[in-house]
Amino acid sequence: MKKPLYAIDTSNRIPEQTSISLLGATGSIGEQTIDIVLENSELFSVDVISAYSKVSELSAIADKLSAAGKPISACHIYDADAHALAAKDPVLAGKLLPAGDEGLQIAASWESTDTVVNAVVGAAGLPPTITAAENGKRIALANKESLVIGGDLVMNAVNGSGAEIVPIDSEHSALAQCLYGRSMSEVDSLILTASGGPFLNHTAEDLQNVALKEVLNHPTWNMGQKITVDSATLMNKGLEVIEAHVLYGIGYDKIEVLVHPGSIVHSLVRFNDGSLLAQLGEPDMRVPILYAISGEIHHHGGSDRLDLVKLGQLNFEKPDEARFPCLRLAKEAGIAGGSATIVLNGANEIAVASLLAGSIEYKDIALIIEKALEQTEVVSVDSLEQAISIDRKSRILATEIVAGL
Ligand code: NDP
Ligand code: MG
């Protein structure tokens, strides 16, 4: 007989200590992960910390952990020049892994690590997600791009090794919490909420002329620059639709997006009988990070308590794909499958970098991605090498499109 949900014994899910390898330690998710580790030092320790090039920030994190009695075992800097600097840093020097992919792979498969937190931004996050999956780790996954460009590759590696993915993305964490103990056969559809970003009430005409500082001014979340731009175009929600499709194995016709400007309801599951389950809370990434690194346990900590009376009401509206074409483009690429989502992501990363560099405008982002998708043929993707090669080609193409604007 099936046990009712409240009788599930989770005691075996709580190890005495979870050891973490933290990729993207110097970023927005990385820093919040460190704070959570330090606030719950009886639960977590950190084996490895990794960053792209921010040597002094990484050194400060190693110092902070050491001062709290939690010294790291190893550290990694991806960029070769920054790696040479790190080799002279007294805190990092003796613990430094090789630069580049080699060191990132070691970090993602560190033997004593239980949980790999992948908080790298962009396509660079895919190889370590696969390495962690192949090594049977629990992956607390913030790097949604891994699933967008290598969904099948990642899920095959997870299924083949007994690894586990617990999403950090707040919407997918909400879905995981609503789905906990359930079967997907009970599910009618998934509803992802979206804040709508800073331009929710801009007209199509207003959107032709927005300043970069307005793009970077997200109303509810404080995040790294790339995801902040993605949130302003709704590409972030598009990537999340693909992420939900990969994680929960559900068709695109069963994934709905609702704009919910307050970012209080983090997502919902609609079950076959019409029942809706939602996960609510203050918009605070510490909740999904804590939930993911502790292996789906609701520990003490997280965010401030939500005051529902003070909140008073919850508002929802339909997203406008005419004003925010990136959402449509992402769904179309998801449905096309194969290489299409790699091209979508690569072109988006080039467009976002170009916007941040001041060489294009907000309104050009969707145009660049659409052109890149139109100019490439969709093929099936069978290996990491092939995914990386398509990613590189799509970046070259998008760079040419940017230059031709
Ligand atoms: P940030 O830009 O703040 O941080 C990115 C981190 O990745 C930094 O530590 C950076 O190192 C490192 N990094 C960048 N490029 C590489 C590379 N090529 N190889 C290795 N490491 C690299 O990003 P966020 O923390 O905002 O986002 C991280 C991921 O989490 C993204 O995929 C994002 O979509 C997702 N996410 C983020 C949320 C948020 O609230 N921030 C919410 C939900 C999902 P360095 O500092 O040295 O450059
Ligand atoms: Mg999200």
Domain harbouring 117, CATH code: 3.40.50.720
Ligand 1 centroid to residue 387 C-alpha, Å: 20
Residue 276 pLDDT class (50, 70, 90 cuts): very high
Tell me the pLDDT band of 112, cut-offs 50, 70 and 90.
Answer: very high
Q: Average the pLDDT over 320-340 and give the result.
A: 98
pLDDT over 90 at 26, yes or no? yes
Domain residues for the domain of 122 are 12-167
> Is the model's pLDDT at 6 over the cut of 80?
no
Is 363 within a domain? Answer: no
Ligand nearest to the Cα of 228, by number: 1
8 A C-beta contact, residue 33 and residue 289: yes
Average the pLDDT over 323-328 and give the result.
Answer: 98
- Please indicate, yes or no, if residue 341 is contained in any of the structural domains: no
Query: Rounded to the nearest whole angstrom, what is the distance from the C-alpha of residue 121 to the centroid of ligand 1?
Result: 4
Residue 148 in domain = yes
Kindly give the distance from the C-alpha atom of residue 235 to the centroid of ligand 1, in angstroms, as a whole number.
16
Ligand nearest to the CA of 288: 1
Instruction: Decide which of 155 and 15 is more confident.
Output: 155
pLDDT recorded at residue 263: 96
Residue to mutate (ligand 1; options 52, 102, 235; most atoms within 8 A of CB): 52
**The pTM of the whole model exceeds 0.95:** yes
In angstroms, the first-to-last Cα distance of the chain is: 64
User: Does the Cβ of 141 fall within 6 Å of ligand 1?
Assistant: no
In a domain, residue 88? The reply is: yes
Question: Does residue 349 line the site of ligand 1, with CB under 6 A?
Answer: no
Within a domain: residue 78? yes
Res. 219: pLDDT tops 90: no
- Considering the domain boundaries, does residue 375 fall inside one? no
Residues 254 and 144: their CA atoms lie apart, in Å, by 19
Distance 89 CA to ligand 2 centre (A): 35
User: Which of 3-17, 152-166, 327-341 is least confident?
Assistant: 3-17
Domain membership of residue 46 (yes or no) is yes
State if residue 149 touches ligand 1 by the CB under 6 angstroms criterion: no
Helix axes 28-39, 286-293, angle to 10 degrees: 60
Q: Mean of the pLDDT values across residues 290-311?
A: 92
* pLDDT exceeds cutoff 70 at 4: no
* Domain count within the chain: 1
Give me the pLDDT at residue 16, please. Answer: 72
What pLDDT is stored for residue 314 in this prediction? 97
Query: Is the CB–ligand 1 distance for residue 28 below 6 Å?
Result: yes
How far from 110 is each of 50, 119, 319, CA to CA, in Å?
A: 12, 16, 42
Asked if the model's pLDDT at residue 9 lies above 90, the reply is no
**Pairwise CA distance, residues 56 & 74, whole Å:** 15
- Percent of the chain scoring above 90 in pLDDT: 92
Q: Give the pLDDT score at 17.
A: 86
Judged by average pLDDT, the poorest of 14-18, 20-24, 40-44, 107-111 is 14-18
Give the tens place of pLDDT for each residue, 41-71: 999 999 999 999 999 999 999 999 999 999 9
Beta carbon of 172 within 6 Å of any ligand 1 atom: no
Please state the rounded mean pLDDT for residues 166-182.
97
Alpha-carbon torsion, ordered 351, 356, 360, 362, to 10 deg: 80
Atom 19 (ligand 1): residue with closest C-alpha?
52
pLDDT tens profile 121-154: 999 999 999 999 999 999 999 999 999 999 999 9
* Whether the predicted pLDDT of 1 surpasses 70: no
Pairing type for strands 138-141 and 164-167 reads: parallel
- Which residues are bridge partners to 46 per DSSP? 20
Determine the atom of ligand 1 nearest the C-alpha atom of 236.
34
Please choose, from the candidates 147, 156, 164, the residue with its C-alpha nearest in 3D space to the C-alpha of residue 242. Answer: 147
Q: What is the pLDDT of residues 70-86, one digit of tens each?
A: 999 999 999 999 999 99
CA of 396 to the centre of ligand 1 (A): 22
Q: Evaluate if residue 117 carries a pLDDT over 60.
A: yes
Cα dihedral 159→163→168→170 (10° resolution) = 40
Please report the pLDDT score of residue 5 as a whole number. Answer: 54
Q: Is residue 105 situated within a structural domain?
A: yes
Q: Which ligand is nearest to the CA of 227?
A: 1
Question: Taking ligand 2, which is a single-atom ion, which protein residues have CB atoms under 5 Å away?
Answer: 169-171
Mean pLDDT of the chain: 95
Ligand 1 atom closest to 223 (CA):
41
**Statement: residue 369 has pLDDT above 90:** yes
* 157 neighbors 135 (Cβ within 8 angstroms): no
CA–centroid distance, 170 to ligand 2, in Å, is 5
CA distance 265 to 280: 4
